[in-house]
Amino acid sequence: MEELNFLTLRVREFGLDLNLSCFAVLLRWICIAVCRDAVLSDRVETQGLGVKQLLPAYLGVDLSPEDLLTGVSFASGATGFDPLTPIVVSVISLEQQLAYFDEYRAKLVAIAGEEETERIIKGALFVVCAGTDDVANTYFTTPFRRVEYDIPSYVELLVSGAEAFLRNVSARGATKIGSVGMPPVGCVPSQRTLGGGLRRECEPSRNEAAQLYNARIQEMIAGLNAERGFGTLVVYLDIYRILDELMERGDRYGVTETTKGCCGTGTIEVTGLCDSRFVSVCDDVSQHVFFDSYHPTERTYRIIVNDIFDNYIQVLT
């Protein structure tokens, strides 16, 4: 959180929660931490399933035993599979998030005992969402990786990091993991501004990277699931299609603005820059796909989450 300086970055601007999440586990039931370091999805899912109002950050100062028993988030907004990404933006790495999970498990044992802890973890759904910030920020916005990698080789770096992370989560007792794919990165408002020219069109190279990653991650997941002794079901959760449809055919969903965010100019402001002391907000947030220049509105998240439920809930539960 911004106010906690750890894990889930939660910024309250204009009365809205921006909950930036990458790695979450909801015990006993399911919570989808939908990608792009995703905003609000923890809240949307936990409310929709009647579990709790909000999936709390593990490093929160006011966690109760019930919070630990029913699910926490180890997320850190803007982290990624590229080990350089958390360094560039000074956030918690995926490796450290796993260390926090190990710490969490010990606390769970103290509350519920070893046998119950194993049962809870085996019955949990782990959701992993990372990669978009690697592409949007580390690769395309900074110069560090482009001098070393072209798009295909950088995608392989990310897929390798994703595989290592999924194996580490599996080794900790996970039996079901949802792995969220990338959205159309080049059509996100900030990426249109940075790479789409004067007309702010969708930037094709970023979308190419996202599509290539999504194809390769599915191949990697298929390999894991076919591997004897792996012992974990990993399910790829596609969000590219539904977001692409929202941005291309927003009128079908009652959306009128698909290329700009709701706060400020809608072209570059993100999270803390959407501060009501300095910038305005649109009159009707529900008409926008994006709240700021990078993160969807709550209505958009509900559409994404409903799509995930429709397509994957039978496999994951």
pLDDT in tens, 228-240: 999 999 999 999 9
- pLDDT tier, 276 (very low <50, low <70, confident <90, very high otherwise): confident
Any domain includes 274: yes
Any domain includes 236: yes
Coil vs helix vs strand at 134: helix
**What is the value of pTM for the model shown?**
0.85
Residue 94: C-alpha distances to residues 30, 77, 178, 201 (Å): 21, 11, 16, 32
DSSP code for 185: G
pLDDT in tens, 176-194: 999 999 999 999 999 999 9
Any domain includes 83: yes
Report how many domains make up the chain. Answer: 1
Q: Which two tokens stand for residue 179?
A: 């792995």
pLDDT in tens, 67-125: 888 888 888 888 999 999 999 999 999 999 999 999 999 999 999 999 999 988 988 88
Any domain includes 58: yes
> Given a cut of 60, is residue 45 above it in pLDDT?
no
Any domain includes 4: no
pLDDT attached to residue 63: 87
Residue 245 domain boundaries: 9-316
- pLDDT tier, 23 (very low <50, low <70, confident <90, very high otherwise): very low
pLDDT attached to residue 202: 98
pLDDT attached to residue 70: 80
Any domain includes 175: yes
Any domain includes 113: yes
d(CA 158, CA 168): 15
Phi, psi of 279 (to 5 degrees): -130, 160
Any domain includes 3: no
Residue range 8-29: mean pLDDT, rounded: 36
Reported in sequence order, the residue ranges of 219-260 that DSSP labels E, i.e. its strands, are: 233-237
d(CA 7, CA 91): 8
